[in-house]
Amino acid sequence: MTAFPSLREFITALDRAGELVRVRAPFSSALEIAALADLAMKSPGGGKALLFENVDGGTIPVLVNAFGSRRRLELALGRRALEEIPRRIQALLRTAPPRSVGDALRLLPRLFELKGVLPRRHRGQAPCQEVVRKGEAVDLTQLPVLQCWPGDGGRFITFPCVFTRGPDGGPQNVGMYRLQIYDRNTTGMHWHIHKDGSVAHRDHARSGRRMEVAVAIGTDPVVTYCATAPLPHGVDEMMLAGFIRRKPVEMVPCVSVDLKVPASAEIVLEGYVDPGEERIEGPFGDHTGVYSPAEPYPVFHVTAVTQRRDPIYFATVVGIPPMEDEWLGLATERIFLPLLNTQWPEVTEMHLPPAGVFHNLALLGVDKLYPFQARRLFQGLWGAGQMSFTKILVAVDPEVEVCDPRAAARAVLDGLRVPEGLAVTDGVLDALDHASPQALWGGKLGLDATRPLPGEPGHGISPPEGAVAPSPQQLHAELVGAYPNLRACHLPLPEARLHLALLVVDKQHPGEGARLAEAALGIRGVDVAVAVQGTAADDLPLLAWRALSSVDPGRDVRVLGRKVAVDATFKGPAEGHHRTWPAELLHPAAAREKAVGAARDIGLIR
């Protein structure tokens, strides 16, 4: 690929490829931009990248949805990047030490490629430091920072590349942690307890020292992606960026802190986080599709702002899938599969469906060699890096197309043996998981739908054929008398061996979802019943997202003989859930109406 040296070269390429729409009508950074961006992200194929050129009456344009389709993602990372980058990683991992001069000569091209991995110092005036403001001249309120949802606690920087370093030096780390604007020179610093930035902050706090921080906004697309990448602790993400780009990232020392940032960034915030200082941050409409709660987080004091003379503000909007972050997740899924294979070579394929919002569901193609290998894999992944936060792991045979949701679901329903194929345990969860009775840990579910090997339960025995599935209308008619809040029934795969019934209920009473799911199992032809909150108008992708985000396997999954009942409805204190259940994200009517009108004007919708 030809690496884009800056965000603006990427914008030019998007424009030439017909992937960019310039929005010249006035738009507010408070709610209006987010509403149109959300509409574009949910359009067929991910819509278009949007460059808002008239924001709040100011002169700083705002770019959103730049990664929001496969074509734009591959333009950002390189043509056929999702196939070529994993192959390059595999080639490096399989490199054997040279045993002869000939071997060494054949290795030279690969070693030459690695020269481009390490970042290098930028020479001359750095574009990100064309304008420098310090002290009283710092004013973050002059940036067109977005408020994305009406329940947000304020305006949030959503695409920041946050550079930190441990108190004893060592390599820099860059992560993507949202920043809530408090006032002209302070923000929240929302790094979760398990993130590298938070680890470095704790190490600084132990020594009683403040931690220097630099935040780059509007970096080139590869650097922006790499800030989201789940690299092992202590590995510099700029090395991954150099590897993907086949060209080093040019870095420049900050003007007031001992950190380096990409020289081509649009805007850089420099400052510090003090040990022990916290402030309430949030709520925030998150990638989970609901509001993450207002909680205490560290405070980032901005002591200097550097920028280009004519900066572009780079942002994203997250919410109920599908959204732009789906495509960044796809890149991670493809790029990191070879690294997963080094520890678990039996994994032939992996998919993180958008409905699972990265940490609720992972589908795995598994080539088993011995009994209970899928169970071993579940246990290993639940103890490994970012995969440890995954709530539900599903193993299917290697020939299954796990990236095809319908094919994967059919394979699970055809292959799963109840109860032998279910593994329920407790473990760590993502900090944003709201379904568990307590924060940071809860129930985990493993579904082994692979063919049994010799020595495994069910080997050599054909699973019993079930009864014919009822129609959705029959199922609804049999249940609605006892459960008048039942709004709709779906049987999405009636041809499968196990019949899944999705029961959409407007839950009004504690325990209603669990009772409904168990009652459905008493109806001939229903093998798996999932009660989910919703209305008759909700489509299957929305219901799948809501079910995955609302279930705690340890509390909500019940095996009854060879059938399974799942209560994936919202929970309250009467059901042992004393945490506040968050509201789903919805744009205000005025912002939605303006977004629809603008989308028609620019040709996004008809």
Q: 549 exposed, middle or buried (CB, 10 Å; 0-12, 13-18, 19+)? A: buried
Euclidean distance between CA atoms 306 and 317, whole angstroms: 24
Looking at residue 150, its amino acid is P
Question: Would you put residue 358 in left (φ > 0), alpha (ψ -120 to 50) or beta?
Answer: left
Euclidean distance between CA atoms 346 and 433, whole angstroms: 29
Of 395, 309, 325, the closest CA to residue 358 belongs to 325
Identify the three-state secondary structure at position 303: strand
Longest dimension (CA), the chain: 81
Euclidean distance between CA atoms 314 and 145, whole angstroms: 9
The answer to whether 271 and 257 have CB atoms below 8 angstroms apart is: yes
The reply to whether 286 belongs to the active site is yes
The answer to whether 238 and 226 have CB atoms below 8 angstroms apart is: yes
Euclidean distance between CA atoms 56 and 146, whole angstroms: 11
CA 590, 596, 600, 601 torsion: positive or negative? positive
Euclidean distance between CA atoms 99 and 242, whole angstroms: 28
Question: Would you put residue 505 in left (φ > 0), alpha (ψ -120 to 50) or beta?
Answer: beta
The answer to whether 160 and 176 have CB atoms below 8 angstroms apart is: yes
The answer to whether 460 and 426 have CB atoms below 8 angstroms apart is: no
The answer to whether 555 and 572 have CB atoms below 8 angstroms apart is: no
To which residue do tokens 């924001």 refer?
55
What is the DSSP secondary structure assignment for residue 257, as one 8-state letter?
S
**Apex 595 CA angle, 589 and 597, nearest 5:** 105
Identify the three-state secondary structure at position 532: strand
Euclidean distance between CA atoms 447 and 366, whole angstroms: 12
Bridge-partner residues for 169, per DSSP? Answer: 166
Q: Supply 436's token pair.
A: 């568990």
C-alpha neighbours within 13 Å on the C-beta side of residue 432: 22
Euclidean distance between CA atoms 207 and 502, whole angstroms: 53
The answer to whether 376 and 393 have CB atoms below 8 angstroms apart is: no
Of 589, 593, 582, the closest CA to residue 151 belongs to 582
Catalytic choice (38, 152, 220, 286): 286
Q: How far is residue 538 from each of residues 231, 347, 577, 588, measured CA to CA in Å?
A: 37, 34, 25, 19
What positions carry a catalytic annotation?
A: 286
